[in-house]
Amino acid sequence: MSEEKKESLFSKKNRKLITDPLNKINPVTIQVLGICSALAVTVQMDNALIMAIAVTAVTTLGNVVISLMRNIIPSRIRIIVELVVVAFLVICVDQILKAYVYDVSKSLSVFVGLIITNCIIMGRLEAFALGNKPWESALDGIGNGFGYGLVLIVVAFFKEFFGSGALTIPGLGKLVLVPESFFDFGYMHNGLMLLPPSSLFIVAIYIWVQKSRNPELIGE
Partner 1 sequence: MAINREGNGYTITFAIIMVVIVGGLLAVVSMGLKPIQQANIDNEKMQNILQSIGIKETDGITRDEAGKVFSIYITRRITINYNGEILSDKSVSDPIDPKDKLDAFNIDLRKEYSKFVKPIMNKTKGNKELLIENLKKSTDIHFPLFICEHNGSKYYIVSASGKGLWDDIWGYLCLQEDGKTLNGSVFAHKGETPGLGSKITEDWFQDQFVGKFIANDNGFTSVGVLKPGANLNEHQVDGISGATFTGIGVQEMLSRNLIVYYNFFKNHPEFSGNQPKEEDVIIETMASDSTLVSANDTIK
Residue 141: name the closest of 56, 66, 65 by CA: 56
CA distance 55 to 118: 9
* 95 sits near partner 1 (criterion: CB under 8 A): yes
Q: Which is nearer to partner 1, 11 or 109 (CB)?
A: 109
- Given 195, 200, 204, 209, the residue binding partner 1 (CB under 8 A): 195
Span from 9-17, 86-94, 173-181, 204-212 in contact with partner 1 (CB under 8 A): 86-94
* 68 sits near partner 1 (criterion: CB under 8 A): no
- Given 109, 182, 183, 187, the residue binding partner 1 (CB under 8 A): 109
Distances (CA, A) of 14 to 11, 56, 75, 142: 5, 17, 27, 11
Tell me the H-state helices in 165-196.
Answer: 180-184
Report the nearest approach of partner 1 to the CB of residue 97 (Å). Answer: 10
Q: Do 143 and 30 contact (CB within 8 A), yes or no?
A: no
CA distance 201 to 208: 10
* 177 sits near partner 1 (criterion: CB under 8 A): no
How big is the chain, counted in residues?
Answer: 220
Q: Which is nearer to partner 1, 40 or 119 (CB)?
A: 40
Q: Which is nearer to partner 1, 192 or 204 (CB)?
A: 192
CA distance 7 to 139: 14
* 92 sits near partner 1 (criterion: CB under 8 A): yes
> Where do contacts with partner 1 occur on this chain (CB under 8 A)?
43-44, 72-77, 80-81, 84-85, 88, 91-92, 95-96, 98-100, 102, 109, 163-164, 189, 191, 194-195
